[in-house]
Structure 1
């Protein structure tokens, strides 16, 4: 069992610079655990029942008293951005040490994040078209499309955050704490303005400020700034952050449902992220030791090599399970209890296990797409920026218009254009005479 040193003397020495280091096994383990937490949240949210007017796809968590306390454990998006900031700083510095450029980094980010989105977008376009032809109720199709498209916000924001990582890493290297507090201050100002004006749309400015601040905290972790604080200071920081979060919730300022703070993001996520980062810093040696165990390393490697595939296919897997449940219920082979009832809870372990197993199976099949080697990247900064813009536009199209066959196909076209822009022209097959190859 790991022992936390609470003595105020001698802070831990800073680790060696990460520029030439290998992947951090503890950080990879945390990222894999974040993926599992997201799968659990999605699995608990999705429910299917048989109503008087037909099948109903609904949020099982809406209005459920048991859900807000659970989100204090399962809201891991702040932690995910922190560990992504850590990994991004290490990866970019390693790339620079090998003679690579910022353009190489941006092109690689476009490739790694957008290629896994191609297959699920194509699949949802085909599935929705087929279901419409088979006479599936339009309301059910609309609800399924709504459920499927919701996680895409993360991919759009994450792509934007990674695009700004090189610039913000330079700011961190010049003034680590000042660059972090500038972003935090901006996020607080947005929340204050939103509260005073009553205009919720103002809060969407924090789609940038909140997540970039958490990414910036990952730079502090990568450079050992937090390890320079004593264990006591970090523990008190974690306890203080949770205490402040609880006080704001009890005071009615923030919702106790921490998942609700995603849309739009609020500074509650920064406070939660501060606690998670301090705990991660304290437990880092222990996590690294656990991550090196062969079985843990095997599972971690499988998940982290397919992070986006897991994320993007999870809702599809849940919708497949929901459809299968409706078919079985129609044959009298399965009951569909109301959410939050005793019968519903009794079925949750099997439901969650089945959803994770199905998602993992899809990830095993589709995972090679995410792990495809990046073609020769573009040498043009302008083309790399255009690729990022096209990628965000593709995801924004589905988020704004909903997941329909038309919007999914339009997004596919934009994603292919983005991936083409991220490649060097020399990487594309050359046409031969007559236009035939």
Structure 2
């Protein structure tokens, strides 16, 4: 892989926005490190294993989530990339080509292939373990937890699906489209907290994340000209909402909390996203100069080629390390104790090594297709089929993130919106949706110029 990475790095177009690629890698890497650091595994006197959160043990550390809750940056980067990708396809497409279906297939290929492999491996392992009667201790917790990061992929799928209509709104109204989503998110929270309207809060899964995604459209057109104002407004807004409103300090979910800023997202989380986007934009100049160094850029290219695989498997690695410690009868100290902190570097290093092994095994499923130019050929209208497909993928992946891999034979269920789903049903929906998107968008032959999660980052403006 080393020679191909060097070749790709050397062929990078002069106008490519390398900072966007760095932000993609850095945001996923921050999530991985945060999960490794915050996991607090304990074994009770009855032998029961629990995975808690360090932030719940030491509430004073929750302020760290105002930096470590970095997912808004990833969705911002997604908006930037999606705008450029859709416009590029629209310019190249001949008549009678469904640009929407081609766009979905191009964006979902690199995302869903490693996800489906991860799902297949863990699903088969969970079924085998249940058939042979293995369970208990850390294993049951692992089967439940390893699927939880899939929520992010489900939300990302929704952003891909909504890109064309929201991009049209952006092109017509600019900042007004973003402002409309902000107002909608605020109205949802007002209805939720001031008037007690039931279930309305779930609308903010769309309004909050799509508003951050819309900032990526503005970045793609070079219209984020006052990042300090955006960062300041977001930071002040989040601070005031936490200080005087019903919002918790933590920007990630905490066990037992009555209100979470994450699930469903709140207006405070949207302000947090604005603060982060403004902050990373302020760093663009020095970071871009740093990325001009060949060795640094090769590192970013390499990381982009394995980022989704590492993200999918990092909890497997972390829980595997804890499993090995328990198997070796290594005592797990009380979370946040001196002994616990002393173990942190060793546990994280071991998790990094094991993640590297898993990446080596599965990274080929994240590689782009064969080289060549984008070829768009006329065909029957396939936009509706692609829309159905991405919807099935979205609900399948979200459902699996909620139900996990445990209790496959017992029909364990989780509530997805208003419907109960099992893991097999969720996997079936995701696979059927993926096949629909592939079939609908086969007039496209995508060849991303650099390895990355969601396609070419392209240029930073018109």
Could you state the TM-score of these two structures normalised by the residue count of structure 1? 0.84
Question: Are 1:209 and 2:207 matched, yes or no?
Answer: yes
Does 190-199 or 356-365 show the bigger shift?
Answer: 356-365
Kindly state the Cα deviation for residue 226 of structure 1 after the two structures are TM-superposed: 1.5
Residue 83 (structure 1) aligns with: 77
How far did 1:184 drift? Answer: 0.7
Structure 2 Cα separation of the partners of residues 306 and 199 of structure 1: 43
Secondary structure (helix, strand or coil) at the match of 1:364 reads helix
Matched, 1:420 2:435: yes
Structure 1 contact 111–422 (Cα < 8 Å) conserved: no
Deviation at 1:55, TM superposition (A): 4.6
- The aligned counterpart of 2:386 is 384
Q: CA deviation at 1:297?
A: 1.8
What is the count of residue pairs matched by the alignment? 400
1:394 aligns with 2:396: yes
- 1:350 maps to which residue? 346
Structure 2 counterpart of 1:178: 176
CA offsets per residue over residues 360-393 of structure 1, 9 Å max, x none? Answer: 3322331221224299998511221121022123
Aligned CA-pair RMSD: 2.7
Q: Tell which deviates more after alignment, 402-411 or 34-43.
A: 402-411
Instruction: Select the residue among 71, 90, 107 that pairs with 2:105.
Output: 107
Match of 2:68 in 1: 74
Cα deviation code 1:7-35 (max 9, x no counterpart): xxxxxxxxxxxxx9864210110111101
Question: Which residue is equivalent to 2:89?
Answer: 95
Q: 5+ unaligned residues in a row in structure 2: which ranges?
A: 1-12, 254-260, 410-421, 444-462
1:32 corresponding residue in structure 2: 25
Query: How far apart are 1:161 and its partner, in Å?
Result: 0.9
Q: Tell me by how many angstroms 1:293 deviates.
A: 2.3
Cα 1:199–1:154, aligned 2, differ >3 Å: closer, same or farther?
farther
Greater CA deviation, 234-243 or 52-61? Answer: 234-243
State the match for 1:54 in structure 2: 47
State the SS of the aligned residue for 2:40: strand
Moved more, 283-292 or 26-35: 283-292
User: How big is the shift at 1:112?
Assistant: 2.5
CA offsets per residue over residues 37-76 of structure 1, 9 Å max, x none? 1001211232333321115131132342243022111011
Instruction: Go from structure 1 to structure 2 and tell me whether the alpha carbon gap of 1:426 and 1:152 turns closer, same or farther (over 3 Å shift).
Output: closer
Distance 2:200 2:145 in 1: 25
C-alpha spacing 1:357/1:167, structure 2 compared with 1 (3 Å): farther
- Give the equivalent residue in structure 1 for 2:217: 219
Deviations 1:109-135 (A, max 9, x none): 232222111121122223323443555
Work out whether 1:238 is the aligned partner of 2:231.
yes
Q: Which deviates the most, 98-107 or 147-156?
A: 98-107
**CA–CA distance in 2 between the matches of 1:306 and 1:143?**
26
C-alpha distance 175-63 of structure 1, shift in aligned 2 (>3 A) = same
| 1:227-274 Cα distance to aligned partner (Å, 9 max, x none) | 2x4xxxx32442342233223222353211111311110111221121
Q: 1:252 to 1:357 in 2, by over 3 A?
A: farther
- In 1, the alpha carbon distance for the partners of 2:159 and 2:134 equals 38
Whether contact under 8 Å (2:102, 2:441) holds in the other structure is no
Residues 396, 425 of structure 1: alpha-carbon distance in 2 compared, 3 angstrom cutoff: closer
Q: Which residue of 2 aligns with 1:370?
A: 366
- Correspondence 1:108-187 to 2 at 5 A: 108-133=106-131, 135-138=133-136, 140-187=138-185
Greater mean deviation of Cα atoms: 355-364 or 112-121: 355-364
Confirm or deny that 1:336 pairs with 2:332: yes
